[in-house]
Amino acid sequence: MASTSDAENVEVCRTRLCEEFAGVTGTDIGVAQCYMAENDWNMEKALNSFFDADMEKVFEEEWTLNQEPLTKTQKVGENEKTPEVTTVDLTAESPTKTSQKPPEDEDGGSGLTLLSWNVDGLDVENLAERARGLCSYLVLYTPDVVFLQELIPAYVQYLKKRAVSYLIIQGGEDGYFTGMMLKKSRVKLVASEIVAYPNTQMMRNLLIADVTLRGANLRLMTSHLESCKAHSGERVAQFREVTRRMREAPDDVSVVFGGDTNLRDPEVTSVGLPPAVCDVWERMGRPEHCRYTWDTRANCNKRAPYTSRCRFDRVYLRPAAAPQAPRLAPDHMALVGLEKLDCGRYTSDHWGIYCSFAAAHANDNPM
């Protein structure tokens, strides 16, 4: 017969699991208890059951109906402009560009353009329209590389249907996960891998892709680091692994890491950036209009009863060091997703980060 203490330990464990489930899915403890109990208190099974029940239905109608082109108002930095986004059909390799993008060669040049965004696929409200919102930004900016966090299977299937000019790499198959999108006309995949974080309690990992861009070797890395203040220790350990892999990459490779890091500045200080690694926002002069990527004062998606302004989403760069290797240097940064969709909500509860990098050789010393 089980002792009273054993029963108490089980209860404590199950309460913790319910709290984690509720935190990940944005539900309450009651919903969490139902899903956890129905799935024998297995977190992964419970999350999969939750997502499967709601998410496929969200996009079912979207896949079967023809959509009208989505027009949006885009805001970059502190200056508002109102060009129209011509379409969300991404089958064309070279959609119409607008004056909002930084100047570039007609063929895209030898630099790199990047969009990093936590798209909040866990939020099922207006998800189809918000996914179309993401596609409108892909048309507007046509980034070479896209880092995405909080993807779910239905969201990926939608992107595969609409964004055919991109190769999509997934950081997982079930629950929620990260992903990368590589523009097929410019970025060639060499290899990819998923690095597990052994102590994560939130299904987090590190997605890595080795690619070439106009003869330059790049290592692309994205992750969604552990969330919440209580998990600072695990988040710091994950970030330490990220910086180690950036530091140990070959000298002829430029490394770009970006994602929803959930980092606080003291946590970064405790780890310390390797000498060759820079925070792109800091390197760009700490522009105030790009400081807060999670801003409940400006973003109403979560209907938060409090004000929280944090720089959770970050991009880091380690340029190649080999003398003849093309070397990246950041030259532009902006937040995207700053205006509401027709549904009255934003594309995500996070703002996205758009960056561009110029290319030179190490002996040109662009940094």
Query: In angstroms, what CA-CA distances link 60 with 30, 64, 149, 278, 347?
Result: 28, 7, 22, 43, 19
Give the Cα-Cα-Cα angle 59, 62, 63 (nearest 5 degrees).
90
Instruction: Report the alpha-carbon distance of residue 84 to residue 133 in Å, rounded.
Output: 13
Strand, helix or coil for residue 83: coil
Instruction: Report the alpha-carbon distance of residue 34 to residue 38 in Å, rounded.
Output: 6
Is 331 catalytic? The answer is no
Q: How big is the chain, counted in residues?
A: 367
Is there a contact between 305 and 275 (Cβ–Cβ < 8 Å)?
no
Chain-centre distance for alpha carbon 61: 26
Amino acid identity at 68: E
Among candidate residues 120, 210, 260, 295, the one labeled active-site is 260
Amino acid identity at 128: A
Instruction: Report the alpha-carbon distance of residue 72 to residue 14 in Å, rounded.
Output: 45
Which sequence positions are flagged as catalytic?
260
